[in-house]
Amino acid sequence: MSVACLLGPTASGKTAAALEFAARHPVEIISVDSALVYREMDIGTAKPNAQERAAAPHHLIDIIDPADSYSAAQFHDDALRLVGEIVARGNVPLLVGGTMLYYKALTQGLNDLPRADADVRARLDADAERDGWPALHARLASVDPATAARLAPNDSQRIQRALEIFMLTGHSMSVLLAAPRVVSADGAPYRFVPLALGPSDRAVLHARIEARFDAMLAHGFIDEVKRLRARGNLNLSMPSMRCVGYRQAWEYLDDAYGYDEMRDKGVFATRQLCKRQLTWLRAMPERVVIDCCAGDATQMAVEAVERVVGA
């Protein structure tokens, strides 16, 4: 059985295409998004609103608290289970999102990497606060030069994860990633087909990203982050608060910089995320490419999904 997967960077029109397909067919949508799993984080994640979610059942949205974490391994298991349940109900499963690591875990399996360790991360955060992330990048280069070579000196999240893995296992992340996968999609009775919404003109997507971030700010994004901060049990070392935009808003509320700089940093971080997402997509030779800048992009995406599922 073939399962369509609408993948693409932020602001590429995935939600619009999914909802248009839902208007024509009995579909249930499985989110492939590492930010949408968190409750209380609606504006900054561009979470589908109540009306959009009423158009079709949505899964893997609002499933955990921001103080908790959700892994690619959990997604692998949850997505396979949900596809089976949706098919059993006689509906069409449609995967929609932009967290390419989740898609890779689902279709290619996972490596045997340790879970996050709060104590180790706290130590690394303290070191970074004292010495700066470029210093930790240099530390990573001494123990895992292959991983350090592909990371920017200020890529805090990935530098921390690579150092954490080394500290917990004594092995570099590059070595562990090269090892045989321990969670595999082999044997699943599904063929996942990636339908990639990508831009023919990157500038068009950048303009959409800028407009979307401004709309988030206008709709109360800063107040949303204020409410999260007021809980008292969240901090910037947590995966939830590392979501694009949230870190910048949090630091703005800490008076690290002004409103305009926060806005520019948020837009830039989103563009960087978009760049990484497109890099992942280009590495999928089996993908079906749909130009998200085209005037009929939504229609083309719907037709591509229909061809995959035989609708």
Q: Per-residue pLDDT averaged across 14-32, rounded?
A: 97
Residue 180 has pLDDT above 70, yes or no: no
List the one residue out of 280, 278, 292, 273 whose CA is nearest residue 35: 273
Residue 111 confidence (pLDDT): 72
Residue 172 confidence (pLDDT): 92
Residue 183 confidence (pLDDT): 52
Question: What percent of the chain shows pLDDT beyond 70?
Answer: 97
Residue 189 confidence (pLDDT): 78
Q: Which of 143-147, 268-272, 282-286 has the lowest mean pLDDT?
A: 282-286
Residue 167 has pLDDT above 60, yes or no: yes
Residue 164 has pLDDT above 90, yes or no: yes
Residue 5 confidence (pLDDT): 98
Residue 161 confidence (pLDDT): 92
Phi, psi torsion values for 214, nearest 5 degrees: -65, -40
- Give the pTM: 0.83
116 — pLDDT class (breaks 50, 70, 90): confident
- 195-210 pLDDT, tens digit per residue, is 999 999 999 999 999 9
Q: Per-residue pLDDT averaged across 10-34, rounded?
A: 96
Write out the two tokens for 232. Answer: 């008292």
Rounded to the nearest integer, the mean pLDDT of the chain is 93
Q: Per-residue pLDDT averaged across 47-60, rounded?
A: 95
118 — pLDDT class (breaks 50, 70, 90): confident
Residue 117 confidence (pLDDT): 86
Q: Per-residue pLDDT averaged across 88-105, rounded?
A: 95
Phi, psi torsion values for 94, nearest 5 degrees: -135, 120
Write out the two tokens for 139. Answer: 């530390």
Burial of 16 (0-12, 13-18, 19+ CB in 10 A): middle
